[in-house]
Structure formats: C-alpha cells, structure tokens
Amino acid sequence: MREVLLVVHTGHQSNIDLARQVAGRLAVGGVTTRVLDDEARDLGPSCCTKVVPADDHAAEGTELVLVLGGDGTLLRGAELAARRGFRCWA
C-alpha cells in the first residue's frame, strides 16, 4: 500500500482544514496518510489513517513527506524526510 507522511502545523485552523482535505483526497486514491502522534489529536480521526511516533523512523516506508505549515514545520518535515533518504524541495 502507498503511504504519505503528513506533517502539519496544527496551531492554525486553516492548516488543519487543509490537512483533512488532503488526507481525504489521498484516501480516495488509495494512499494511506500517516501523521505524527503529537499532531494526531488536533487533526482528528478523519485525517489519520496511521499514527506514528515523531522519531527517526516516522517516514520509513513512505513515498512522500508532505508539509503544511511555515518555516519551522518545513524544517521538521525536511529532517524527517532526510532521515528516510528523501531529497527535499520547497
């Protein structure tokens, strides 16, 4: 099964709303959405297909790390992606 890690700055409602829309569209396409455990509660069950710890292994087995947020969130996502061996684009 295809999986994407979604990293979201949950301090802004607009990011949460967008994350839910993105997760819904990915689900329709048969893609599992992973979210970090510290963000899952704010995002709610409709956004979380799989909850993973925010550790070195969060992005393992995923095809993409998708970031919704600002500079700090982008850096967090890039760090998780780099641990997986992804190249990062902003």
- The residues annotated as belonging to the active site are 71
- String of DSSP letters for the chain: -EEEEEEE-TTSHHHHHHHHHHHHHHHHTTEEEEEEHHHHHHH-TTT-SEEE-SSTTTTTT-SEEEEESSHHHHHHHHHHHHHHT-----
